[in-house]
Amino acid sequence: MTHSAGPPTRGRRRPDLRHWLRPQSPQTLVLGICMAIGGLAGGVRTSLDGKGIWTILATFGLGIFGVLIVVSYFTNYEDRR
């Protein structure tokens, strides 16, 4: 089997990079839910404990990222139906 070193032939393209950013499996949904709940609850807990601002922001950031994963899963689910 030989491989050409040039660009791909006509009609054959690489998959879109957005394909890798779309969560499609139910395991990703569960991961997003766990990140959202843990991050938001942990952010509240760290702010009540008086931890540093960077710890609070990182924990809230994890929760917000989890929410984004869950929302993108359901919007992608509507596109697949």
What residue spans of the chain are helical by DSSP H? 26-49, 53-80
- The pLDDT of residue 15: 65
Buried b (16+ CB within 10 A) or exposed e, 6-31: eeeeeeeeeeeeeeeeebeeeebbeb
pLDDT band at 46 (very low <50, low <70, confident <90, very high): very high
Q: What is the pLDDT of residues 50-78, one digit of tens each?
A: 999 999 999 999 999 999 999 988 887 77
CB 69 within 8 A of CB 23: yes
Q: What is the pLDDT of residues 7-36, one digit of tens each?
A: 666 666 666 666 666 777 889 899 999 999
Query: When comparing pLDDT for 45 and 25, which is higher?
Result: 45
- Burial zone of 66 (CB within 10 Å; 0-12 exposed, 13-18 middle, 19+ buried): buried
